[in-house]
């Protein structure tokens, strides 16, 4: 396993302090960890509201299962590469994802429970199989890192199905009611920070997926400006906030 070396803050050629290296190797991923936590914790208020009301309603809890899988995959990748920033960005998301998923599962109807269970089992089998393969059959550190990286990106592609469907809905209805501009903006900034870090440490598994996530954020902001949200009347008692705003990703 390749140990994390601390990403020296000094140039190799001299002893002068290098702010660019400090920003790219430490400040950018550090800010990314903070934004990631804020994004993961944003659905918590709604989940607590669901727990208080003891009713899930029409909300789709499946993205919460994707949070668990996405964060678990990146935690494996971060641990293999001994990268504290990738670990710090995803550990809170994993714990929050588990709490919110279990909370919503208890108030979901049988059909929603069945879908959540199937998704959770699929991702559990996938991640455990990859972990076993890396531990028992892959001796080369580089291949172990690549295996974990490709797995994380695959799960991320599954995760990206949600924002793609949301953007398609905006184009169909010509209303951005399903999008939330602060989250889209945070997703864009978060993606750019991780792109900067991934590029600085020459890690395409971090840089490329986050570039796609940042691009989705920019597209969503554009759609919000082109198609303003149309007010839709809702019956009393159904004014529950969206469970999760689509399009978020952290390395």
Q: Per-residue confidence at 77, pLDDT binned at 50, 70, 90? A: very high
What pLDDT does 10 receive? 40
Token pair 């290296």 is found at 21
Q: What are the sequence ranges of the domains in the chain? A: 25-226
15 has a pLDDT exceeding 50: no
Token pair 């208080």 is found at 52
Beta bridge partners of 10: 17
How many CB atoms lie under 10 A from the CB of residue 64? 26
What pLDDT does 245 receive? 47
Alpha carbon distance, N-terminus to C-terminus of the chain: 20
Q: Rounded to an integer, what distance in angstroms lies between the CA atom of residue 190 and that of residue 197?
A: 11
What pLDDT does 58 receive? 65
Structure tokens at 104: 């919503």
84 has a pLDDT exceeding 70: yes
Q: Rounded to an integer, what distance in angstroms lies between the CA atom of residue 28 and that of residue 193?
A: 5
221 has a pLDDT exceeding 50: yes
Q: Is 174 left (phi over 0), alpha (psi -120 to 50) or beta?
A: left
Closest CA to 133 of 156, 159, 151: 151
**Least confident window among 96-110, 148-162, 188-202:** 148-162
Percent with pLDDT over 70 in the chain: 84
What pLDDT does 83 receive? 97
Cβ burial of 116 (10 Å; 0-12, 13-18, 19+) is buried
Closest CA to 246 of 213, 207, 222, 209: 213
What pLDDT does 177 receive? 80
194 has a pLDDT exceeding 60: yes
Name residues whose C-beta falls within 8 Å of residue 230's C-beta, 6 or more positions apart in sequence: 173, 174, 175, 177
What pLDDT does 17 receive? 60
Rg of the chain's alpha carbons, rounded to an integer?
19
What pLDDT does 2 receive? 45
| Average pLDDT, integer, range 212-232 | 87
pTM, two decimals, is 0.82
Closest CA to 46 of 190, 180, 158, 161: 180
Q: Per-residue confidence at 60, pLDDT binned at 50, 70, 90? A: confident
| Average pLDDT, integer, range 17-32 | 90
């Amino acid at each position: 396993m390749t140990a994390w070396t601390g990403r020296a803050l000094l140039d190799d050629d001299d002893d002068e302090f290098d702010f660019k290296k400090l920003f790219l190797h430490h400040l950018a991923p550090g800010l990314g960890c903070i934004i990631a936590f804020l994004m993961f914790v944003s659905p918590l208020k709604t989940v607590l509201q669901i727990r208080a009301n003891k009713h899930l309603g029409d909300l789709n809890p499946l993205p919460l299962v994707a949070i668990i899988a996405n964060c678990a995959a990146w935690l494996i990748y971060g641990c293999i590469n001994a990268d504290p920033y990738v670990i710090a960005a995803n550990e809170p998301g994993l714990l929050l994802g588990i709490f919110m998923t279990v909370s919503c599962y208890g108030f979901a109807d049988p059909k929603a429970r069945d879908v959540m269970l199937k998704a959770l089992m699929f991702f559990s089998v996938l991640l455990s199989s990859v972990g076993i393969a890396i531990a028992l059959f892959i001796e080369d550190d580089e291949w172990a890192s690549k295996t974990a990286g490709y797995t994380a990106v695959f799960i991320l592609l599954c995760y990206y199905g949600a924002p793609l469907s949301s953007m398609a809905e905006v184009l169909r209805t010509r209303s951005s009611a399903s999008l939330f501009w602060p989250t889209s903006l945070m997703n864009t900034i978060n993606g750019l920070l991780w792109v900067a870090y991934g590029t600085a440490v020459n890690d395409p598994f971090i840089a490329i997926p986050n570039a796609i996530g940042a691009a989705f954020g920019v597209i969503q902001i554009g759609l919000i400006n082109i198609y303003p949200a149309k007010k839709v009347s809702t019956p009393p008692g159904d004014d529950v906030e969206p469970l999760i705003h689509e399009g978020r990703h952290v390395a």
